[in-house]
Structure 1
């Protein structure tokens, strides 16, 4: 198959390039968010939002609990904890109820940053809801995709296809 200059190969592949399309969209959203934060004089990455926002909304939490509620890996939460702890935005301490567990909490600097970011986050939320409506309910389609993968993972689907060949 020859490639025509100027065409969008990933888009042309439809569902076959689903992962590439999702990564491209995620990168575009993250880059736009970074520009907005920078324009407001804030060094903040979109990937930190879930952990920081959960701590702001619900208070101290363990790494495993945050990973579970956000649907991300323990390692991802740990990396965010380490980088935000070094930046002075998050603190961690032994859980008084379970010494094997560490509780994360926003530091006073973290609380101040969240107060500064809350208007931006509200604007992000409004823009995302409007964008989702404009695009015809992508969030619902993504929820269906997540459920389909939970019901039958891609690895199982590929394995089954290969066995049929």
Structure 2
């Protein structure tokens, strides 16, 4: 059977990125499972920021990670259920939540640091092998910042109608 996504080239950019993300996340999950660690790859950004920076608000985390407030809030709920973080009302604004690592979260981070270093090494080596794809992704992000996909499609559709 043909690989439709590969055949479509740039036209299937979003599908290709989702497929790569799913592959990377699945392998990361296998690494954690092989070591008997209950850790979801989607938690990494929030946990790592809290470990590196300390207590942060949901908006601060969203901005630092370049993801939506809703995504951080969803991750926060999952991390709280797992007992890895705690959240409190922000003393300056009770509508906001400030997140911190729990004692269990701090212990898990300490346990995972060597493994995360191995992840970093593997990712850098993979990026080098693939021809510095992260540089191309940075150019893609810059291009989308200059003109969104929405705008590009709207302009293209207007010229076809």
TM-score computed with the length of structure 1 as normaliser: 0.95
The more displaced of 95-104 and 62-71 is: 95-104
* Structure 2 segments unaligned to the other structure (5+ residues): none
The question of 1:82 aligning with 2:77 is answered yes
Aligned to 2:141: 146
The residue aligned with 1:128 is 123
C-alpha distance in structure 1 between counterparts of 2:25 and 2:103, whole Å: 26
Tell me which residue corresponds to 2:103. Answer: 108
Equivalent residues, number: 160
Partner of 1:56: 51
Q: Deviations over 1:121-156 (max 9, x none)?
A: 100000000100110011110011011111100011
Structure 1: which 5+ runs fail to align?
none
Q: What do you get for the CA RMSD once the two structures are aligned?
A: 0.8
Select the residue among 96, 99, 102 that pairs with 2:94.
99
For 1:102 and 1:9, locate their aligned partners in 2 and report how far apart those are by CA, in whole Å. 44
Tell me the equivalent position of 1:28: 23
**Deviation at 1:89?**
0.5
Tell me how far 1:161 sits from its aligned partner. 0.5
The Cα of 1:9 is off from its aligned counterpart by 1.2
**TM-score of the pair, normalised by structure 2:** 0.97
Secondary structure of 1:92's counterpart equals strand
Give the match for residue 70 of structure 1: 65
What is the Cα deviation at residue 92 of structure 1? 0.6
Tell me, yes or no, if structure 1 residue 160 matches structure 2 residue 155: yes
Q: Does the residue aligned with 1:42 lie in a helix, a strand or coil? A: coil
Structure 1 residue 8 displacement after superposition = 1.2
Separation in structure 2 between the aligned mates of residue 99 and residue 47 of structure 1, nearest angstrom:
27
Moved more, 119-128 or 93-102: 93-102
